[in-house]
Amino acid sequence: MSQSQHERQRLAHDPHRPRYHFLPPSMWMNDPNGLTQWRGQYHMFYQYNPHSAAWGYMHWGHAVSSDLVHWRDLPIALSAKPGADKRDGCWSGCFVNHDGVPTIVYTGVDKNVQRPFIATGDANDPDLVHWTNYEGNPVIANPPEGYDQHDFRDHSIWREGDTWYQVIGAGIEGVGGAAALYRSTDLYNWEYLHPLSSGELERDGAIWECPDFFALGDKHVLIYSPLPQCYAVYNVGEYRDHKFVAQATYQLDFPAYFYAPQSFTDDQGRRIMFGWIKEGRSVDAQIEAEWSGVMTLPRLMELGPDGLIHFKPAPEVAQLRQNYQNLGAQNISTDQNIVLDQHSNSCEINISFDLGQAQSFGLDILRSDDGQEFTRIAFEPSSQELIIDRRASSQNEHDDRDIRRHRLIADAEDTLNLRIFIDSSVIEIFANETTCATTRAYPSRASSKGIALFSQGGNTQVSTLEIWDIQAIWP
């Protein structure tokens, strides 16, 4: 058994550890990096600290998959130098197919100075195991004048004709977060042009981390993760004269467990995103668990006729379904709780509610047999708010336990469809495809796997209710 399989087996008993969302064998993970499909295989690199379940000494972990769902661990691709400071290492970046040479552009951090670095791999190796740093690193000496000289990191690269373009996450002094645009003919010598886009300090943050820029439908999309807000934002707009003008801006996922997403186009032309799901419990609990950080499911992004990005789990995830239960239509009477027979904390729920007279309706998941512990997902038609209530999610006061309200990005008119993926402590929700909400819950009771439906202030008709158990992706 390999070391990584051993680690996975060692931690598999942990009831809060996800079983079908990707995470490393053990220890800390944050951003997805270098996502690509290379010679048929999907590659996931990720920010990884192999020494602890806390951030620091960043390496690039690495796994491959032939189906976006089952992953095979590979050796660390990029390492922090021995003796590095906690803040030094290999920070986020992207993969580039440089005329057949597999290439990574990332942020090398040395003595807390952040600069663009390049490493190349072996084109004949489908696993892309070996990476060699370019001797001339860094490839850009300093951030441009007028920019914050410290925060200058994370890369998104594309090609137009013979010319490479890249944006780097940055901030302009006194202005706000920005995506600094560069151009190059050889990927190694870069000329600064101007901000592809920049924001207003108060509204859009001081620094934009992890910019991701790509065409979608007949528009362009710029995604970034602003600081200090610490959530991810997507902008749909026009790209002209090498400037991006946003026409619509939305938070990508609610509330803020989802961060630093990255996307890529696969061989089928699909735009696929992964994001980092943070923990919702104390640092001590993470260190004790010996793991921290989870990837979202692979999300397909399409531009809808409404001008919004529509998010769906990649269809490949459906291969993990088993024990299909079609519970058909259900009528929930006002103030009634329908406790279902199903018990699972590793499942997918597809539920559609008709919007009727009820003031609010929804479901309790991760519910204990006595109904004392549960996580409530509710919808209030009058405010169009999705409400995630975790006040009774766990008995541990160090876990996040709050109630949050999020207005849907697109109003639900007649129906609210929720696709809910529960994976131990991860809850990933797709609401009418246009609003995503990801949260965490760490139930204390072993029986907290139940599901109940409720309606308040009027009856609610459920038109579809399907539930599948979801299989683990590791043996």
Binding site for ligand DQQ (CB under 6 A): 30-31, 47, 58, 91-92, 107, 153-154, 209-210, 259-260
Tell the smallest beta-carbon distance from residue 56 to ligand DQQ (Å). Answer: 9
Whether residue 70 contacts residue 131, with contact meaning beta carbons closer than 8 Å, is answered with no
The count of C-alpha atoms lying within 13 angstroms of the C-alpha of 168, restricted to the half-sphere facing its C-beta, is 32
Q: Which residues are annotated as catalytic?
A: 31
- Integer Rg of the chain from CA: 22
User: Distance (Å, rounded) from C-alpha 105 to C-alpha 90?
Assistant: 10
Nearer residue to ligand DQQ within complex by CB, 92 or 345: 92
Residue with tokens 């050889």: 186
Nearer residue to ligand DQQ within complex by CB, 58 or 119: 58
Tell the smallest beta-carbon distance from residue 458 to ligand DQQ (Å). Answer: 43
Tell the smallest beta-carbon distance from residue 224 to ligand DQQ (Å). Answer: 10
**CA-to-CA dists, residue 170 to 114, 149, 176, 184, 321, angstroms:** 11, 9, 9, 19, 42
Tell the smallest beta-carbon distance from residue 22 to ligand DQQ (Å). Answer: 17
Q: What is the 3-state secondary structure (H, E, C) of 12-49?
A: CCCCCCCCCCCCCCCEEEEEEEEEEEECCEEEEEEEEE
Cβ atoms within 10 Å, residue 392: 20
Nearer residue to ligand DQQ within complex by CB, 28 or 71: 28
Q: What residues are paired with 311 via a beta bridge? A: 301
Nearer residue to ligand DQQ within complex by CB, 55 or 192: 55
Tell the smallest beta-carbon distance from residue 154 to ligand DQQ (Å). Answer: 5
Which of 42-69 are b and which e, b meaning 16 or more Cβ less than 10 Å from the residue's Cβ? bbbbbbbbeebbebebbbbbbbbbeebb
Nearer residue to ligand DQQ within complex by CB, 169 or 313: 169
Tell the smallest beta-carbon distance from residue 453 to ligand DQQ (Å). Answer: 37
Whether residue 286 contacts residue 54, with contact meaning beta carbons closer than 8 Å, is answered with yes
Nearer residue to ligand DQQ within complex by CB, 7 or 88: 88
Residue with tokens 């809060």: 16
Tell the smallest beta-carbon distance from residue 107 to ligand DQQ (Å). Answer: 5
Nearer residue to ligand DQQ within complex by CB, 363 or 426: 426
Tell the smallest beta-carbon distance from residue 419 to ligand DQQ (Å). Answer: 26
Nearer residue to ligand DQQ within complex by CB, 94 or 358: 94
- Of 88, 79, 90, 125, whose CA–CA distance to 110 is shortest? 88
Whether residue 450 contacts residue 368, with contact meaning beta carbons closer than 8 Å, is answered with yes
- Of 199, 469, 438, whose CA–CA distance to 321 is shortest? 469
By Cβ distance, which residue is nearest to ligand DQQ? 91
The count of C-alpha atoms lying within 13 angstroms of the C-alpha of 198, restricted to the half-sphere facing its C-beta, is 20
> What are the φ/ψ torsions at residue 268 (nearest 5 degrees)?
-90, 5
- Of 165, 176, 319, whose CA–CA distance to 242 is shortest? 165
The distance from CA 372 to its chain's CA centroid, rounded to whole angstroms, is 31
Tell the smallest beta-carbon distance from residue 11 to ligand DQQ (Å). Answer: 22
Nearer residue to ligand DQQ within complex by CB, 56 or 356: 56
